[in-house]
Structure 1
Amino acid sequence: MSLNDWFGISQCSLSVCACIFLTISYVASLYVWRSSLSRDHPSTIKRRFFSVSVMMLLAPFLVQYFITEESLSKGDLYEHLGLRWSGIIPAMISPLILTATLFLGPLTMQFLSGIWKLYAEPMYWLSSWQDLVWVRNHFMAPLSEEWVFRACMIPLLIQCVDPMTAVFAGPLLFGIAHFHHMFEQMKAGFEFKTALMISTFQFMYTSLFGAYSAYLFVRTGHFVAPLVAHMFCNHMGFPNFAEISEFPPLQRVLIVCNFLLGFGLWCFMLNPLTSPDIYDNRLHWET
């Protein structure tokens, strides 16, 4: 094995270790505060806001330390983190349209049940921003997770593997990071087996979402692209298929058809709407 090959393996190992360190540090930052209060208590939420904010500030320095000169020759650190102006407008709009299409079924359920009317009420948004749980779920969690797990990890992983491999490998750490909810569920009174089943399910769907989010980041070259998708997904939540039975028969048919139509359209539009040419992305993807 040549010296260059050995250096490549060593650099790759360091990049992977840096990603693992970021994962552990992010989860650990949530538990540095000793408290018996629940995760939804305002005091707990405020402390965790501070912790993840510190993580967001420190993570780019780790990227700067471990990113190679070869990577920086393709673009500066800001570009690797997905912070650039070129193509930012489509990066804010297209991923949102794409993700909303995937949720066509749940959106239909919201429309038929009248929930959509709430979005036109200013008081709904005012009261939501005063609710720390809502702010955490809709803003702080997507912002911090996409910054650490996508903007800071993906550039390091791409130094080791090709972009598509990074898209599917990186989200495994994102999924594993959600296993910490298992301890909070047990603390809330769930049995070990129940908490494990819930956390395993969370691992599966967060890993799948993480792959989608990483794909958006790599294809668009923008941090804002996976961020808006994450915010929308957190707002919608995982589809509650059991609720379909609560609608009248004809509406059930419409809802099921829109679930299938939304998924089909999402598959059809995924590549065209994330074409790197739209976003002037020349960093990770050859066009």
Structure 2
Amino acid sequence: MFEPEHAAVHQEDHAISRCWVGVLNCLLLSCLYVGSLYIWRSSLPRDHPSVIKRRCVSVLLVSALSPAVVKTWMHWSDVRVGASVWELMGIRLDGFVPAAVLPLLLTMVFYLGPLVHSVMENPKGFTGELQSAVDVQSWRLCVEDAVWLRNQVVAPVTEELVFRGAMLPMLVPCTGPRAAVFLAPLFFGVAHFHHIIEQRRLHKDRMSVILMVSGMQFLYTTVFGAYTAFIFMRTGHVVGPILCHSFCNSQGLPDISSALKHPQRPALLFSYLMGLLLFLVLLFPLTDSFFYGVIPICSLAPPPVSAC
């Protein structure tokens, strides 16, 4: 007569252990990702081509290892779902085109103000911006630039695979989809604190300045991480977060202070405001599961699954 109670206790203990294993695996991946940057001893700055190349190799290897970490977690935690590790990590074909286009479009809408600002600053206006975007020579120079490749290709691909694709499947069964969207970015934000080591080694600024800048970076990367985690959970694809990450790296933070000093300030501020409003209006419609089919990671969510 006590068997149902013992079964419930055993099930609860198993759920708790699965949570701990998932969180520890996320911590392991974070340490591996950041630690791989420092296995190469060098006195050169982080933007030196040779440092960039070696670090890119390191993080690509960690990213390649991340599916094995998720697979191991599934084995240890006895997770059985009707989706492969690749599908849970957002690497799938169903709904791929909308997943690549719509989240990027949504992010570009948010950056409407900075994009309009860039057009205003270009002597040739919108035509000049369009020509720059499709100029083959410009793209060739970018591809040959190690810093550009790191910021626009390697960092977005590896960080989204590790910090979204691998971590979210291990957190969702424990925390649920909504909490995982805000928990996973904490690993992402903390991982960027390693820049403190670089700044101290090069003696670029006072420690107080370094800590303040790192704190701001933590805030930005955590908020951005929550956004790409949201995109991942809503679309079930990692391609959207990767493209959004690459685009945001190319744009940087919106320069509101410069907009306030611009001769055409009213029009520019209006574009900033419209971008924000349109982003909020389109956030859920453009990430509706209608475009992306069944979301594999939702099969890991505890009841109610509809919360996914």
Deviation at 1:70, TM superposition (A): 6.7
Aligned counterparts of 1:221 and 1:51: Cα–Cα separation in 2: 27
Residue pairs, 1:1-287, within 5 angstroms: 2-67=9-74, 71-114=79-122, 116=129, 117-188=131-202, 189-248=204-263, 251-283=264-296, 284=298, 286=306
Instruction: Check whether the contact 1:71–1:159 (CA below 8 A) recurs between aligned residues.
Output: no
Deviation at 1:142, TM superposition (A): 0.4
Deviation at 1:281, TM superposition (A): 2.6
Instruction: Check whether the contact 1:182–1:199 (CA below 8 A) recurs between aligned residues.
Output: yes
Q: Call closer, same or farther: CA 1:232–1:72 in 2, change over 3 Å.
A: farther
Deviation sequence 1:109-167 (CA, Å, 0-9, x none): 11111172422322211111111001100110001000100000000001211101000
Deviation at 1:243, TM superposition (A): 2.0
Instruction: Check whether the contact 1:219–1:274 (CA below 8 A) recurs between aligned residues.
Output: yes
Aligned counterparts of 1:214 and 1:70: Cα–Cα separation in 2: 24
Greater Cα shift, 118-127 or 152-161:
118-127
Instruction: Check whether the contact 2:113–2:268 (CA below 8 A) recurs between aligned residues.
Output: yes
SS in 2 for 1:159: helix
Deviation sequence 1:3-22 (CA, Å, 0-9, x none): 11111101110000000111
SS in 1 for 2:284: helix
Structure 1 length-normalised TM: 0.95
Aligned counterparts of 2:53 and 2:61: Cα–Cα separation in 1: 13
Deviation at 1:71, TM superposition (A): 4.6
Instruction: Check whether the contact 1:138–1:235 (CA below 8 A) recurs between aligned residues.
Output: yes
Deviation at 1:245, TM superposition (A): 4.2
Structure 2 length-normalised TM: 0.89
Aligned length: 285
Structure 1, unaligned runs of 5 or more: none
Deviation at 1:246, TM superposition (A): 4.8
Deviation at 1:252, TM superposition (A): 1.2
Aligned counterparts of 1:207 and 1:30: Cα–Cα separation in 2: 20
Aligned counterparts of 1:129 and 1:138: Cα–Cα separation in 2: 10
Structure 2, unaligned runs of 5 or more: 1-7, 123-127, 299-304
Runs of 4+ in 1 over 3 A off after TM superposition: 68-72
Instruction: Check whether the contact 2:111–2:272 (CA below 8 A) recurs between aligned residues.
Output: yes
Instruction: Check whether the contact 2:30–2:187 (CA below 8 A) recurs between aligned residues.
Output: yes
Counterpart code for 2:72: Y
Greater Cα shift, 74-83 or 168-177:
74-83
Aligned counterparts of 1:32 and 1:13: Cα–Cα separation in 2: 28
Greater Cα shift, 87-96 or 236-245:
236-245
Greater Cα shift, 73-82 or 157-166:
73-82
| Larger gyration radius, structure 1 or structure 2 | 2
